[in-house]
Structure 1
């Protein structure tokens, strides 16, 4: 049974979500503050986390950052309506999706199914392939990246984006393509997400980030990985 952790201090909202998720066949755990959430994540096998940003003791962005230090559990962040900065920061930290409050429960259920399906696909497709382009090495099964033999820390989505591009060298992807393949089609209105992630990946793997040699830009179209 798929186990979902809801982290939100609005108890009425949590109660309603618990009921809806259990009706869909999910097992549900709950936490009303960030510290309790981290304890539950450490003690239990969690398949997906619904994480509010505004939390007592430790806010959702800090919780997301802590989770991504050693886990790739899918995270859907809940943000205040119109808080685009929080959305971008959450995605940069490795969140898989976001939903602004107030939201329709059916939409959240659809997002959950989409994220779980995408995560399963990402974990199975070409998972054993190792890409080597000096000085870069990407190990798909271990989800590890090294540059000149030194480990590089990437968020879950940074890894997914880099690995997708590297598996298909020379193929140009539009921002819309990348949003659909890595995040899901509902991100079509937020193309900045791709640019932010590409910039952050370049800062971590390129010798000179503003003169990239690995992840290249096709001006007016999108991005591609160098052919090798």
Structure 2
């Protein structure tokens, strides 16, 4: 039975990327290993059964393309390429040598998770998405596949960013989430230093929650740290 505890190997030589990707995937319940070069990645792949590989293309030594070729002689687990190289040719090459998807940098956490889920769903079965797409807290249910927010009071009309922000809070309902963590979850690794934007979006999110008939106090401010969504 497919589930969110799938094992993933992340290969990238940029610490900011591996920190962000590892953090995002572990928060979803995945088991994540991280290496910064192709040689170590091959060694890990030979010793462990991974359900998915996330590969940068521009790696020292063995690059991502060659790493993918070598992995394909050993495993059929899906490969998601991450790269700052976003030309059509780069994407075609990546897919033709055995890659399953291609995500250009910079990217946001929701897009990353959606791509990972889609690849696991195809390789492990349809039940994977069904088990991991709905979040319910405070009388609100988010469907991450359909990008809808609804409940007894009705639908909440959210922008993609507001949806991602609410999802990050609801997944941690009852716990305080720092502004930095909210930036990682809702904006992506490239925005980690701009924490003030979180406050502006929280205000808009509260307004929309209230306008839809829900208690705006569902999103609490924890002074000096961040925000908490009531259970």
| TM-score computed with the length of structure 1 as normaliser | 0.52
Deviation at 1:38, TM superposition (A): 0.5
For structure 1, the 5+ residue unaligned runs are 123-228
RMSD: 1.3
Q: Identify the match of residue 120 of structure 1 among 96, 100, 124.
A: 124
Deviation at 1:76, TM superposition (A): 0.3
Deviation at 1:86, TM superposition (A): 1.7
Q: Identify the match of residue 73 of structure 1 among 68, 72, 77.
A: 77
Q: Identify the match of residue 109 of structure 2 among 105, 112, 133.
A: 105
Residues 165-192 of structure 1 show CA distances to partners (whole Å, capped at 9, x for unaligned) of: xxxxxxxxxxxxxxxxxxxxxxxxxxxx
Q: Identify the match of residue 58 of structure 1 among 57, 62, 77.
A: 62
Q: Aligned with 2:93: secondary structure?
A: helix
Paired with 1:28 and 1:70, the residues of 2 have a C-alpha distance of 19
Q: How many residues matched?
A: 122
Q: Identify the match of residue 43 of structure 1 among 43, 47, 67.
A: 47
Name the counterpart of 2:12.
8
Q: Identify the match of residue 34 of structure 1 among 21, 24, 38.
A: 38
Q: Retained in 2: the 8 A contact 1:79–1:86? A: no
Deviation at 1:70, TM superposition (A): 2.6
Paired with 2:84 and 2:91, the residues of 1 have a C-alpha distance of 9
Q: Retained in 2: the 8 A contact 1:79–1:87? A: no
Residues 93-133 of structure 1 show CA distances to partners (whole Å, capped at 9, x for unaligned) of: 111101011111110100000110011249xxxxxxxxxxx
Paired with 1:81 and 1:63, the residues of 2 have a C-alpha distance of 17
1:161-200 alignment, distance < 5 Å: none
Paired with 2:57 and 2:85, the residues of 1 have a C-alpha distance of 12
| TM-score computed with the length of structure 2 as normaliser | 0.51
Structure 1 runs of 4+ aligned residues shifted over 3 Å read none
For structure 2, the 5+ residue unaligned runs are 127-231
**Relative contact order (alpha carbons < 8 A, sep ≥ 6): 1 or 2 greater?**
2
Q: Which has the larger radius of gyration?
A: 2
Q: Aligned with 2:73: secondary structure?
A: coil
